[in-house]
Structure 1
Amino acid sequence: MQPSAPPATLGRERIDQLAESLFREHRIAIFREVDRLFAALLTFQWLAGIVVALLVSPRAWAGAESQVHPHVWASAFLGGAIVAMPVALTRLRPGWASTRHVVAAAQALMGALLIHLSGGRIETHFHIFGSLAFLAFYRDWRVLLTFSVVVALDHSFRGVFWPYSIYGVLTVQPWRWVEHTGWVVFEDVFLIRSCVQWVREMHAVAEREAELEVTRDGIEVEVRERTAELQEANRSLAEENAERARVGADLRRMASIVESSDEIIISKDLDGLITSWNRGAERVLGYTADEVIGRHIAMLMPPDLVDDVRTILDRTCRDEHLDHYQTRRRCKDGTVIDVSLTVSPIRDVDGAIVGASNVGRDITEQKRAEAMLAHQATHDGLTGLPNRTLLLQHLERFTSSLWGQETRGALLLIDLDRFKQINDTFGHDFGDELLKRLNPILVGAVRVGDLVARLGGDEFGILLEGVAASEALEIADRILASLATPIVVKGQLLDIGASIGVALYPDHGGDAASLMQRADVAMYAAKRRRAGKVVYTPGLSDCTPQRLGLVAEFRRGIEEGQLRLHYQPKVDLATGGAAGVEALVRWQHPREGLMPPGRFITMAEETGLIRPMGLWTLEAAIRQSRAWHDVGLDADVAVNLSVDNLHDEGLTETLRKLLETEQAQPGWLTIEVTETAMMKHPKQAKRILESLHELGVRISIDDFGTGYSSLAYLKELPVDEVKVDRSFVKDMLVDDRGACIVRTVIDLGHNLGLKVVAEGVEDLASAERLAAWGCDSVQGFVLSRPMPSPEATTWLAARETPASAACGRRHLPSRREEPCVVASGRRRAGSK
């Protein structure tokens, strides 16, 4: 690395650089100014040349020379060409070296042109000296050389070939050339010397200006530095004074805060003697400063925590900082409170630890609140029993601590049998009071120490530790017996009962999750069987991986068009002709082939897939009915809707769009609904059925007679047809009560103006009996089993022949005949 130049050298270099810069700026300014001057001069000379050509030249040239007057005119206009370039350059590129040389050449040529136009009358030397003097304005001797070269070439050429244009005589003596050359050289030397002197003077002036500017800059820099130093000194002094004032204010404020703080703030030395005591400590602990300062900190400790004093002091001596250290302190009145302390060492000016400061706050109420929240988080707010969270914690602790040991246990899940009816009948307040009464009943039925928890709603769980299966079942029986006794709530005698699921440890699971899941399965099995209690076995649960996989496959089957419709015909007993068909859903499984509805209908209802399946059935059935009518087959289609479909507010609009899309008549479609579906939400069902009936769709009540409220709503619903349930038709020939019910339903339907259809007819004798009782049409295996669309089309075509229609009401097809077809969906969207 090169050593830096001394300050004097750096100043000289800066002066030289600045002087050179100023010199260049001055010269450029001079060049530009002289450029403008010569532009004006050249323009004036050109105009003067025109005047001379017009006025002087014709008289200047006499005799034979007067013949050149046209040439003079041409030369006059040549001046414009000479002037154009330098004038343009002085405008476009002022100050450039090339511009100066062009100006010099143009000035020489313009002078020669003027001498020529005036016939030599203009004094040549005077003209040359004047031009050289003007060029000297540039203060650039190189321009003089350019001018002199152009003049020499011009004089040499014209002095030889046209001397009269320069010297005014036809013959020139050699001494005239020497004379002209001498004058030019003399003028050049004089002017060049003058130019050099001007340049030196300009350099000197620029150097003086640079020195003055550098000196001025140095003075300004020094003034600024001195000013900054004074300002910095003043600022430092002001900051120092402000810091002292702030520290004093902080100390006073801290002392005020410490004294007025509600927190306990005390200090002690390394021997444990109290050295300071604030009002917060006085307020919380009850002692005044005079009562404690100078006494040992142990006076504030409960007897069982006296040893903590030495422990805390030792940790302070090791420069340890304690944050949120929870302990207890004894007040003056003898009460003990919970406190949270922050203990920090106190140092002297040399940094040595001389004591400790204690900053604490009373957390007694906080601890109580935390205990209350912990109890609320693990206990049921209504019954006071442990909740699901605490039961799972105990169950996880039990299974994890006993894993691999021979100790056994059991988990009981209890669900009340009629709690929902009690809530619906008497209200939730009544139900809550009942749940409170169950607390002592359940606790009294188990052993001391067994955990009884409310899981939510009317479900309870009991953890039995160290019991065998037989003892667990005995406890379950005691619980059932206790709950079998009627309970009086608000003067009302209630009989509730319960269902209990039992899962044994480790037989049915080695962890909490498995035991809970299997006890839950057993409990639901007990409810279904009305068995009181059920011990878990692997076959109880329907939630198998195979079933879950089947759900996914069924969803994909709906999307990919794997569903099929089979059609079961109905026959009009009066004519023997086709009365329509009912569409029944089948699933064409990719691996298992054609699956009957019993394999997937219940699964579809539980998973919500029954609704898209029902909509698909409607669309496919309407499309098939349209196809049959297009070929002349008058085949109406019946579709049985599920509960989900029946309570779909958009069903009517969806059906209208389907009929419009397929260009089908509403009367070709019959919607079959079960009593159960209607009675679930009767008002909503009535509203939707009325909208369907207004659309023109026929309404049929399926499985009539198996519900509980049919007669109450039959007169209000827009029904066109009732179907006698197969359970009554099956044994009517041998069961007088069944026969009576069938006849009653037929008479009731006719009295209400409804068509009556008997389903499940499996023999000709039953069909003939139904015809004799006036039943309108029949459906069953006596006609045909459900069949695919091509076979149904053949069956319908056969029933359209004149011979078939002429057979009358006594004609019924044998089981060997091909059946007629009607598209219909069962109550589970085609489950027959």
Structure 2
Amino acid sequence: MSSRPSFSAPFGERDRDGRRGGPLVSRGLVVDAAPQQRARQALRAAERLSRAVVEGLEEGVVVLDAELKPLSWNASALRILGVTADEMADEAGSVLRRDTLRYDNGKPLSEQDNPAQRAVRQSAPVRATLRRAAPDGGERWITILARPIGGAHGTTRRGVVVTVADVTSSVESARRLREERDRAQRYLEVVSTLVVVLDPSGHVELVNRQGCELLGFSEHELVGRDWYETVVPAGDREEARDVLRKLVAGEQLPEERHETFLLTKAGEERKIAWRNAVVRDADGHVTSVLRSGEDVTERRRAEAQVAYLAHHDRLTGLPNRALLEEQLQRDLARARRTGGAVALVQIGLDNFKLVNDSLGHGAGDAVLRETAQRVAELTRAGDVIARQGGDEFMLLLDCGAEDAQVVAQLAGERIMEALERPFAVAGAEFHIGTSIGIALFPGHANNAESLFKHADMAMHQAKRAGGGAVAFYERGASEARERLSLTSRLRRAIDSDELRLHFQPIYRVDDGVLVAVEALVRWQDPEHGLVPPAGFIAVAEETGLIEGIGAWVVEALCRQASRWAQEGFRPRLCFNLSPRQLRQPDLVASIAQTIARHDLPPGQFCAELTESAVLSDERRDSSLLDELHEAGLAIAIDDFGSGHSSLARLRDLPVQVLKVDRSFLRRVPEDPGSTAIVAAVLELGTALGMTTVVEGVEDVAQLELLRQHGAPLAQGFLLGRPVPADQLDRRPARVPT
């Protein structure tokens, strides 16, 4: 066996005596050999350093000559290739023995595939990864890099440098990881849910087959792409990204279950019920988010359809009684809280049975559908129309406490007018009469059940009267006990200071400055909350309690006026006088004394009387108006236009203010007739030298029309609702233009 050769060829020359170093003798000249000797020593030192570095490498290094015979190698090369130094030296090319190295598929390494041969042949580096059978029966994986080396400036090819490395652990780890990934992918393919893995930035790392099929994308179209930009609807992206950000940052725990929409490749929205989990590394940092989603689109559609059918009439598509009851409960709660009112209108078709009997149920269904359409066309935003069943419909009206009865009456009349038009069904034209019943909260009932019952009673009352009429609920003898209880509680309310004043502002139309307030009484009932006037004024009138309530209103108004005066706020103060109060012989004297006791100017006050009360009894009311005028109070006729005024008499009365009834403004500016009436009343007020206040301003179009016609003053929900004194906004009214 030959000994192991040096890693590098020896340097230097020998003299004629075979000795290294020393001076060289050439052609009789003696040359000093010290510089050459130092150079040889430096080269030997570099050779030793190079040898030490190569020997210390974990990778194997083998140098082959042009015939691929090993010239030198390090210990790592022997270990990695599994050969001894003698085997390496004796067998040319043993560094790549074909009987020990194979491809991954088991095919032996051929002569042509020898990386060293290929590197020499191609004059370029060649890399390969091969398997080697180990002595213990196992396998090792090695990578081989063969690089050709040449002479000076690469002019002469002298051999090959082969670098080998044992990559068994890396290959096996990669294989295990690949197997685990493949196994996980197979598991994911058999589950019935969409599974997607996102990296912290929201890009898709993995998606299963069900997800691809659901969304209509292939796997390569999703993996690596931004999930949110690809499948999340544009309007939901910002919120969805924020959820991911919070999950990754640890600011939010994964929700156990939540639902969002995804957008398929075809543009269809699907609703997905998600479960999320976060994957963390050894340091606790989130590396990915695992999302499992179930497509619940069809289920939710079915549930929505069931819910719709449970709350809507199949024939007309209108809400049914159940949905109407839910809305009524909400409206009643709001009315109790704000002091508002609720009107329930029940509509019954007269002689509908005759249609079914003569033309068949198909024709009857057509009549019901057209009835629903005609009534629905009359409803305002906030109103709810429902089918009660059979030939009966119900309308829930959104209205204020002050105009509930007027709104309900007008709605009933408009419905009656709409249903008076003939129906054309099955080639026949015929008329169907209508009976309408109306019940009000809190005037006629204090809860939903009573309101339904009383509206039904009112409708049947209209039918008993011959049909084709609008009837409000009237109390019967069965309610005497309830009425007695209300009277007793109202009497207690006066003695126990349960009454409250709310103030509705009155503004100048041209500049929005607040110039007056109207005082409106409320009852803070311990049992039913804040009750508006419609809930107790009628009873107070009938029982005589209105006189005590009227006196309380004037006293409370004066106390509030004194407090406002101290703050420098002195608006015109308007209060209402009821018809029963007008019969009091000492009414004016009592009001004047209360105002004087608080040291307030009488001219700051304005007594409002309804048109019907002022003009119903000429002799009595003329004297009362004169007394109020002589006491220094201003006088306003409220609800002007709702009665039957005598303009000749109106001219002679000491009235300073006309308050135009809100019913005229309801159809303005859409209805030219109503617009003309409002304009005429404004001109009448100017001609009579009276200030006109237009009530019921609820939208900007109405206010703009009043500006165009020079209306001086206005009040209504658009400008300000009735509120307690401490909530009154004294600033100029700001409304959209």
The structure with the greater share of residues assigned to helix is 1
- TM-score with structure 1 setting the length: 0.33
The structure with the greater share of residues assigned to strand is 2
Larger radius of gyration: 1
